[in-house]
Copies of this chain bind each other. A is one copy, B any other.
Amino acid sequence: MADRRPTLADVAHAAGVATSTVSRAFSRPQRVNHRTRERVLAEAERLGYVPNPAAQALESGRTRTIALLVPDITNPYFSGVIKGAERGAANAGLTLVLGDTAESSAAEAQLVRRLERAVDGFVIAASRLTDDELRTAATRTPITLVNRATAGMGCVVADYDSGTHQIVDHLASYGHRSFVFVGGPAESWSGARRWQGLQAAAAERGMEVRRSGPYLPTLSGGPAAADAVLASGATAVVCHNDILAIGLMRRLAERGVSVPGEISVVGFDDVFGADFCHPTLTTLAERTEDAGRRAVELLVTQVPLRQAGGPTRVLPTQLVVRGSTGPVTSM
């Protein structure tokens, strides 16, 4: 182990100045004589001085750390959000703490409470908390939401209105007159928005929609969903997310049902895997990496202002047409 690490005082002594000058040399370069600053920095470098973040935080009350909370770290949908947030944090010189809420609102609330003094703010993706819980927490520490809109705080959401229209138009262009929405968890905010959008878009097109589910938004949710879809006689299905869609397609393949020959399948998210499953999946791509980065930016800009509110940023979505959708077979 190294000996005691050099402190501000060590650098100050070595450079023959006061500690405040050293501090300023780092944090307010303008307010220090250029030559003095050079000397201080040189001494700091020579001594291998690194500021102690705990001490900085204690004084300033700011930790230069933010937390990102996601329901499941291993879900590839959140990988993009995590990466984007990590980039955004790095750009802003912030440290990113990652928390997995295990899809539980209790765990989420506990994590917020545990970390609120250790971080300057939270980015919460797909929060399971109620609007009220979120707003209460936001009075203590700034919060920005990803894929969840709650009045009074910064939100970054995907444009599901446009996205669901794109999906419906695509299916209509292939001659489908109706489709089934294979729903995910009932509490999912994005699930509700997707379903609303699909209903509205279908109504405009004069198409008929039904909803099936809820199902687990995992590969294992696929078989039950597939069987329900088969029973319904649908020519097309739109699934809550890609993973569920892939699980559903696997089951359809097992049962000898051709995709897209007999049934067209559409997913949401364009996760890793959507372009190499079989058949490749037509899906609505979200800019998850952008979402993570923007959420951090939103948080950073509102932190210094100490304002609780924040505008909602809507990120574009785009339909990626692949092999799982095709024309209706007239029988």
Contact = CB atoms under 8 A, between A and B. Distances in A.
Interface of A: 1-2, 5, 50-55, 57-58, 63, 65, 73-74, 76, 79-80, 82-83, 86-87, 90, 95-100, 113-118, 139-140, 219, 246, 250, 272-273, 275-278, 306, 308
Given A50-B116, A95-B114, 12 more contacts: A1-B139, A1-B306, A50-B113, A53-B118, A54-B118, A86-B100, A90-B100, A96-B99, A273-B276, A276-B277, A277-B277, A277-B278
Given A76-B272, A273-B273, A52 B117 contact: yes
Contacts of A116: 50
A100 B116 CA distance: 23
Per CB-CB distance, the 8 closest pairs between chain A and chain B, nearest first, are A278-B278, A54-B57, A273-B273, A98-B98, A74-B79, A54-B58, A53-B118, A86-B100
Query: Which of A63, A140, A272, A278 has the most chain B CB atoms inside 10 A of its CB?
Result: A272
Given A54-B57, A118-B53, A306-B1, A97 B100 contact: no
B80 A1 contact: no
Contacts of A308: 1
B117 A5 contact: yes
Contacts of A97: 65, 95-98
Contact of A118 (B73, B95, B273): B95
30 contacts: A1-B139, A1-B140, A1-B306, A1-B308, A50-B113, A50-B116, A50-B117, A53-B54, A54-B55, A54-B57, A54-B63, A54-B118, A55-B58, A58-B58, A73-B83, A74-B272, A76-B76, A76-B79, A79-B79, A86-B99, A86-B100, A87-B100, A95-B118, A97-B98, A219-B276, A246-B276, A250-B276, A273-B277, A276-B277, A276-B278
Contacts of A277: 273, 276-278
Query: Which of A65, A115, A306 has the most chain B CB atoms inside 10 A of its CB?
Result: A65
Contacts of A306: 1
Nearest to A279: B278
B57 A86 contact: no
A260 B83 CA distance: 35
Contacts of A100: 83, 86-87, 90
Nearest to A118: B53
A48 to B, nearest CB: 9
Contact of A272 (B57, B58, B272, B275): B272
A116 B57 CA distance: 16
Contacts of A52: 58, 117
B76 A117 contact: no
Query: Which of A51, A73, A219 has the most chain B CB atoms inside 10 A of its CB?
Result: A73
Given A57-B54, A117-B53, A140 B2 contact: yes
A73 B79 contact: yes
Query: Which of A2, A50, A113, A276 has the most chain B CB atoms inside 10 A of its CB?
Result: A276
Query: Which of A74, A140, A306 has the most chain B CB atoms inside 10 A of its CB?
Result: A74
A229 B232 CA distance: 46
Contacts of A115: 95
A53 B87 CA distance: 25
